[in-house]
Structure 1
Amino acid sequence: MRYIAHIRESDRQCQTVKEHLLEVKQLAEAYGAKLGVAHIAGLSGLLHDMGKLTEAFLNYITEAVNHPDAPPKRGSVDHSTAGGKLLFKRLHTGPIDINKAVLAEVVGNAIISHHSYLQDFLNQELESDYLQRVRDKSLDEYEQAEQRFFDQVMSEEEFQDYVNCAAAELEAYLEKEPSVSHEHKLMFLTKFIFSALIDADRTNTRVFEENKPEEPECDSEHLFARYYDRLMDKIRSFEEQNNADSPIHRLRREMSEQCDRFALRPPGIYTLSIPTGGGKTLASLRYALNHAKIYGQKRIIYVVPYTTIIEQNAAEVRRILRDDEHILEHHSNVVDDADDSDEAQDGMMTTQQKWRLAKDNWDSPVIFTTMVQFLNTFYAKGSRNIRRLHNLCNAVIIFDEVQKVPVPCVSLFNQALNFLKAYGRSSLVLCTATQPTLEYVKHKLDIHTEAEMIDNLDQVIEAFKRVEIVDQATMEPFDNERLAEFIADRLEDVRSVLVILNTKSVVRKLYDRLKITAGDIPLYHLSTSMCAAHRNEILEKVREHLRNRDKIICVSTQLIEAGVDVSFECVIRSLAGLDSIAQAAGRCNRHGEHELRHVYVIDHTEENLSRLPEIKAGRHISKKLLLDLRRDPAFHGGHLLSAQAMERYFNDLYTEFQSKLSYRVPSLGMDMIQLLTANKLDNTFFQDYCSKHGARLPLVLANSYYSAAEHFRVIDDRTTSVLVPHGDKGKSIIAELNGESRMADITRLLRSAQQFTINLYEHELRQLDHNNGLESCLDGKVLVLREGAYNDEFGLDLDNDSRFDLSIY
């Protein structure tokens, strides 16, 4: 009998279970080869849908396709447990080979979880979700499914040989990096195998459903060589400009050449500390392209703190490389699948299945994404996040403005980078003018002792000095009324003023206040209440005014200060962390158009930072440094932005948050590092389990992957991505997503939608829902703002008139 894995929607053709298992195995092997674990990854693909070799699933999928209006009860057939049960039965019972027992746990967990998220080996209720599935759960037709697997897919002898190869790979993997605990190694291996399986399964299913060959993998070697030539053409064109021999241009050229030479160094973790205005984007791209050519890296990934930097940097790179097709911007997950399990729908081509299968796996040669998305790939719930993890291997990853790593995530960030360096053969570049001291925390970054790409940094920093920091913060308090007067005073002497405040609400209030007093002076507002496309439009208008040397005021949250290429004659920065002040200074006299200009640091009394503890702490430490300098101008290297001041700032910041650097989960009394990687002696759950059950947990691993992911948020408050009807393009995307779309169209639309999303907190969603400001598409999986809830001046409008707007997109 032919057992069926999928039935194609368009022509009712069937993909057999054997075909699907062997094809997913082949794909997973290719992904696993990046880590030297092809057979371990392949084993997960080989067994993941073994439970479909049953009469029950055959009847289920046939009924679902033949009777779509009255499908069988969802969840009535469990097909993802069988493969994990087979591994546990054969490798984890009777006389145990410890290596194969670990193999059963690592691969088995990936298999049973491939329609949701990795299960806990031990949870806070002192039970094992993993054991309940692979040991305790009774499966109808399990013995028949096992026999059919060996009869139809792979013989027992071949299977045993394959398992032996996988066990050998596991042994070799564990022997690397002897200073790292097995728990750390196996946590990352489990996540990597899960990533490989999720991507292989969904890719194979999508290719079958689309009924066309998968596009061949991009030839990154030749592509990067072509890109490098185009970049060098651009760099040579700079040398032909009239001011090419000025000291600043010569220094930029020398730093760029240093990055080019540094590309010869083997993959590792390095720093690039070019100051603002030093040509950081081109220099880092030059390193990345040359290094990728030399060492065969498959992709180049830019990780930035804010989405605003994505648009600008991606646009600049596109112009230089002259290529739109191979450059991906990934701002956020338009579809949130963190709490979904789709096992009940596997085999049925619902709308939910279409968006799950849509290509969203970071397989582009050049990718721009955010720190939130990078950390989510390793630690957040949802198979869409972790699906991308394996593509972070064999890559050059540039962390632009790396000082913005959220403090609670420092240890998690360090461990992810250490894994990618040691096992993923990736090269990691920490790119900023204000390097954080990541190697001095408990779970330190394994950075090279001679990691800096740029020689003689002190002289370079002095050469690029363009501003003076003016301390107003220790002189007088500011509210918006006083600030509006201060802005007016500055505009007596300069033509452009940028004001950066810490909270969206105070930015909006100042903007409304200035609309009354600014008169005919162009006034602009920027915040994350506006979608990326909208912010980009505003920034273009701002740049046009700056080019024309018009009078202009721009009021913004901190999103503008990291990497956005604007140059104002005057910047006013509300007191914050020293790194933020330094980045704000980079928006003033950015290109050295003028003699030294002023950056005023103020103490704004109307900002409520109770929910922003990092900014609050950074503000306090920066104020102490300012007071030190007021008492003795020779302190901290003589100025606020010196290397000594920056090192002191980060050391004080990490000391203050020492107990939180490993992402504390108060409700569990543990931190994320303990949940993910603690050995049994240090695992509170394990000790309590032994007391409760009077026996040891019969597993090698006792980590709590699901519980850890459930509590992980890169920022303290969970937000939801919402699509906004900004401009004709935003409205068009919403309309198309509401229509009947093919899978390829959904892939395209979800990528396009990145530019038209904002992230909302729960209280904002509740208020919008109350005002009838929300609707949805894609079977409720994508939330959409109604037109009345989005303002073309400042973005999200919670006090909207959508309750009277009954239009449907």
Structure 2
Amino acid sequence: MSYIAHIRESDGEFQTVEEHLLEVQALAEAFGGKIGVKYIAGLAGVLHDFGKYTDEFKDYILEAVNNPDAPPRRGSVDHSTAGGKLLYRLFHEKNITEFKGKLAEIVGNAIISHHSYLKDFFNADLESDYLKRVCEKELIEFETSKENFFKHVMCEADFLSYVEQAAVELKEFLLKDPSKTSEQKYMFLTKFIFSALIDADRTNTRLFEENKPYEPQENHTLLFDTYYNRLMSKVKSFQQHENANTPINLLRSEMSQQCDHFAEKPSGIYTLSIPTGGGKTLASLRYALKHAKKYNKKHIIYVVPFTTIIEQNAEEVRKILQDEENILEHHSNVIEDADDNDENQDGFMSKIQKLKLAKDNWDSPIIFTTMVQFLNTFYEKGSRNIRRLHNLSESVIIFDEVQKVPIPCVSLFNDALNFLKAYGRSSIVLCTATQPALDFVEHKLAIDADAEMIDRLDHVIDAFKRVEIVDLATDRTFNNEKLTDFIVEKMDELQSMLIILNTKSVVKDLYEKLKEQVMGVPVYHLSTSMCAAHRNDILEKIRNQLKQGNKIICVSTQLIEAGVDVSFECVIRSLAGLDSIAQAAGRCNRHGEMGIRSVYVIDHEEENLNKLKEIQKGKQVAKRTFIDLKRDKYSHGGHILSKDAMDRYFQEFYSEFASDLNYFIPKLKKEMTKLLMEPRNENSYRQAYIHKHNKTKDVQLFILNGYGTAAEHFSVIKNLTTSVIVPYGEGIDIISDLNGNNSIEDLSRLLRKAQQYTVNLFSHEKQLLTENSGLVSLLDGKIIALKEGAYSDEYGVDLQNESGFGDAIF
């Protein structure tokens, strides 16, 4: 009997080890070829399940399938170490050459980690998870695996020739881009290879389980060409509109044309600084589609700061492109897999395994996702996130409201973008009215020369002036009582007002006060305690009220200011960074239909910002700018939202956080950038390791960094959150359906649908809900949902405790 890789649940059909290895190799080669590392990725693919060539594993998988009620202990057979061990023995134990030795480490780490996450080469305690596996772990049937591999998959001569080709690729990769350290190159290449391997392995396993052939990813050039023509038809229809020749609309049209012309330029990192209300979604899409079809890009990816605007932007794009099928929204990870090790679950095809195989790899033509998900793809633990990384290459990536990059992640963000530019063949657009100074920090972003797509920015900003910023923050403070009185007074002369405050607790309190004080005027409340579908339902009601010209008040956290398409007659913004004030102003008189309207900036004394350092510091820097303008009206370009004021603000802001930009890990007293990318003294590490472990022979490693430790300590939002599905609208049916017996295809569909019905809980919120019996566990705890009593149609998550609306904004 042949050696078995998988056994199909539906009909008991075998997939042989050689079939699986060669098919995964082919997929991995295709993924790796996108950045010129076809053979390196293919090497990982062809060796990843090399350890299944043993009688021990064959007995294990047959026993697992034949005795499902009493299966063998999971993890009792190690099949992922063998491929890494083969590379180590052949190219790293003796007569070591530089590039084959490095190849053994990079590919070997990906192979031994493909059921969990990348291992440390060395950690702070001078332990090496990598060496423990490839050097020290004994595999009884290793020679059997090796003999079978060279007999059935690739003869030894062909294998050695293949490794030579991979080593040539590695040399070329490492010689490219001399501005990067070797450690940066090792890290990003290892993660890319790991991504390609994970996706190739899971895709092939899923296709075998579903009994479907592999269909190569379509060339999207024709699709993008169709999309571009549909977009241009929409643009032409705008030009026929009766208001097409107003100054604002003429300027919008001009900026859109500039983006079209800019798309002819080669790929790079560029800025698109269209003011709020200037039509940046369509202008950036016009650039992306034209650039994608000219330079054969595989994906267009929009990255937004908050889940709030994903559905809005995706729906706008769907309508223009007339396509419901090929536009993916990825809000958050519904599945918790950071601590998974699914070694040897091949014979079980449990619901958990089906979750692993569910299609979740960002292979759609157009993708909308969040900054959290983008950063997780590069840096967070767990195989589900990193699986998507290779699909970021050969793409157009548009970062909408890029100024919202979390401060601790600035350097990591810049390094990821620099990799995608230099190696990933991607074109990157930083899209915002308030460009952050990402080239001002230590780990500089490699923005191209003449990067700005829009000409005469100061003129454009002046032309788009629709509001007056009224400073009420430098000489007094407000509490919710005073603020309520102020709002009631202003509403006598206004139809609509938006109030944006910095914390959920004061938002909820003000909302309740206004409901009591303002009679006959609907008051709406928005916060991230609500799922995306819930917030969008409320926003739809708000838009209808605004469209009809009815009196209306909305109280919200900052989630409403990042690209949400609403236009109020007046806005009140609690003092925060200048970028937040500018974004809040973009929700006022959005189309200039009401002349010049007022945006009042206040200092709210009841907001507790102790745990919100970025808002706290931004508030301080902004206040200094307001004071400067009060003293000298010509300072900072003459107004609070000028380009000069914004440049100065971000430089001061990043200077305030200079020691925090590299993701400091308090527990380790070390920055994450150093864990991942700092050069280490090879001799001192090697000698210390040999001494500590009483080694009798020398140990050489080219790569010394701790990938696993870094991922273990990474979280975009420092206070760890858990995604839960909520029983709102269709969420009720999704929770019920996930309890059923689903196919992989069904799970893929449900998980996509669940994106709009999730909320992120902080640990104290999760704990409180647990104590109040408000949570239900699905699929052995891999998915968590709220019980119906724990969700309110008015406030969202209901913890039955006031602390549930604590001072958190995400």
* TM-score calculated relative to the size of structure 2: 0.97
The residue type paired with residue 789 of structure 1 is A
Spell out, residue by residue over 1:495-539, the C-alpha distance to the aligned partner (whole angstroms, 9 max, x if none).
111010111111111111112112221111111100000000000
Deviation at 1:778, TM superposition (A): 2.0
Hey, what does 1:757 align to over in structure 2? 758
Deviation at 1:595, TM superposition (A): 1.1
SS at match of 1:453: coil
Residue of 695, 711, 714 corresponding to 1:712: 714
Q: Is the 8 A contact 1:5 1:347 kept in 2?
A: no
Separation in structure 2 between the aligned mates of residue 323 and residue 215 of structure 1, nearest angstrom = 21
Confirm or deny that 1:745 pairs with 2:746.
Answer: yes
Spell out, residue by residue over 1:161-194, the C-alpha distance to the aligned partner (whole angstroms, 9 max, x if none).
1100100100111111122111111110000000
Q: Is the 8 A contact 1:123 1:685 kept in 2?
A: no
Cα 1:172–1:646, aligned 2, differ >3 Å: closer, same or farther?
same
1:459-498 residue pairs with structure 2 within 5 A?
459-498=459-498
Hey, what does 1:771 align to over in structure 2? 772
Confirm or deny that 1:184 pairs with 2:184.
Answer: yes
Confirm or deny that 1:272 pairs with 2:272.
Answer: yes
Q: Is the 8 A contact 1:788 1:800 kept in 2?
A: no
Deviation at 1:672, TM superposition (A): 1.0
Hey, what does 1:66 align to over in structure 2? 66
Spell out, residue by residue over 1:254-306, the C-alpha distance to the aligned partner (whole angstroms, 9 max, x if none).
10000000000000000000001111000000000000010000110000001
SS at match of 2:301: strand
Separation in structure 1 between the aligned mates of residue 685 and residue 474 of structure 2, nearest angstrom = 49
Q: Which moved more, 1:196-205 or 1:774-783?
A: 774-783
Deviation at 1:639, TM superposition (A): 1.0
SS at match of 2:302: strand
Q: Is the 8 A contact 2:682 2:702 kept in 1?
A: no
Separation in structure 2 between the aligned mates of residue 571 and residue 115 of structure 1, nearest angstrom = 51
Q: Which moved more, 1:512-521 or 1:315-324?
A: 512-521
Q: Is the 8 A contact 2:665 2:671 kept in 1?
A: yes
The residue type paired with residue 620 of structure 2 is H
Separation in structure 2 between the aligned mates of residue 159 and residue 576 of structure 1, nearest angstrom = 60
Q: Which moved more, 1:587-596 or 1:359-368?
A: 587-596
Spell out, residue by residue over 1:471-503, the C-alpha distance to the aligned partner (whole angstroms, 9 max, x if none).
111121111111111111111221111010111
* TM-score calculated relative to the size of structure 1: 0.97
Spell out, residue by residue over 1:111-130, the C-alpha distance to the aligned partner (whole angstroms, 9 max, x if none).
00000000000012211100
Confirm or deny that 1:577 pairs with 2:577.
Answer: yes
Separation in structure 1 between the aligned mates of residue 684 and residue 594 of structure 2, nearest angstrom = 60
Q: Is the 8 A contact 2:358 2:748 kept in 1?
A: yes
SS at match of 2:449: coil
Deviation at 1:656, TM superposition (A): 0.9
Deviation at 1:800, TM superposition (A): 7.7
The residue type paired with residue 783 of structure 2 is V
Separation in structure 1 between the aligned mates of residue 63 and residue 210 of structure 2, nearest angstrom = 22
Q: Is the 8 A contact 2:79 2:344 kept in 1?
A: no
Separation in structure 2 between the aligned mates of residue 134 and residue 651 of structure 1, nearest angstrom = 47
Deviation at 1:732, TM superposition (A): 0.9
Cα 1:554–1:140, aligned 2, differ >3 Å: closer, same or farther?
same
Cα 1:535–1:745, aligned 2, differ >3 Å: closer, same or farther?
same
Hey, what does 2:703 align to over in structure 1? 701
Spell out, residue by residue over 1:699-731, the C-alpha distance to the aligned partner (whole angstroms, 9 max, x if none).
00001000000111111111000000101x111
The residue type paired with residue 181 of structure 1 is T
The residue type paired with residue 726 of structure 2 is V
1:447-458 residue pairs with structure 2 within 5 A?
447-458=447-458
Spell out, residue by residue over 1:206-237, the C-alpha distance to the aligned partner (whole angstroms, 9 max, x if none).
00000122344233010000000000000000
Separation in structure 2 between the aligned mates of residue 59 and residue 416 of structure 1, nearest angstrom = 43
Separation in structure 2 between the aligned mates of residue 506 and residue 709 of structure 1, nearest angstrom = 35
Structure 2 unaligned blocks of 5 or more? 803-810
Deviation at 1:692, TM superposition (A): 4.5
Separation in structure 1 between the aligned mates of residue 446 and residue 284 of structure 2, nearest angstrom = 21
Structure 1 unaligned blocks of 5 or more? 802-809
Hey, what does 1:18 align to over in structure 2? 18
SS at match of 1:641: coil
Spell out, residue by residue over 1:349-368, the C-alpha distance to the aligned partner (whole angstroms, 9 max, x if none).
01110000000000000000
1:13-92 residue pairs with structure 2 within 5 A?
13-92=13-92
Deviation at 1:153, TM superposition (A): 1.2
Deviation at 1:684, TM superposition (A): 9.7
Spell out, residue by residue over 1:608-663, the C-alpha distance to the aligned partner (whole angstroms, 9 max, x if none).
11111111110111111111111111111111111111111111111111111111
Separation in structure 2 between the aligned mates of residue 73 and residue 454 of structure 1, nearest angstrom = 62
Deviation at 1:15, TM superposition (A): 0.3
Deviation at 1:694, TM superposition (A): 8.7
Cα 1:432–1:683, aligned 2, differ >3 Å: closer, same or farther?
farther
Hey, what does 2:201 align to over in structure 1? 201
Number of residue pairs matched by the alignment: 800
The residue type paired with residue 344 of structure 2 is A
Q: Is the 8 A contact 2:271 2:429 kept in 1?
A: yes
The residue type paired with residue 130 of structure 2 is Y
Hey, what does 2:805 align to over in structure 1? none
Deviation at 1:690, TM superposition (A): 7.3
Q: Is the 8 A contact 2:578 2:622 kept in 1?
A: yes
SS at match of 1:555: strand
SS at match of 1:680: coil
Separation in structure 2 between the aligned mates of residue 405 and residue 692 of structure 1, nearest angstrom = 41
The residue type paired with residue 430 of structure 2 is L
1:412-431 residue pairs with structure 2 within 5 A?
412-431=412-431
Confirm or deny that 1:653 pairs with 2:647.
Answer: no
Cα 1:94–1:681, aligned 2, differ >3 Å: closer, same or farther?
closer
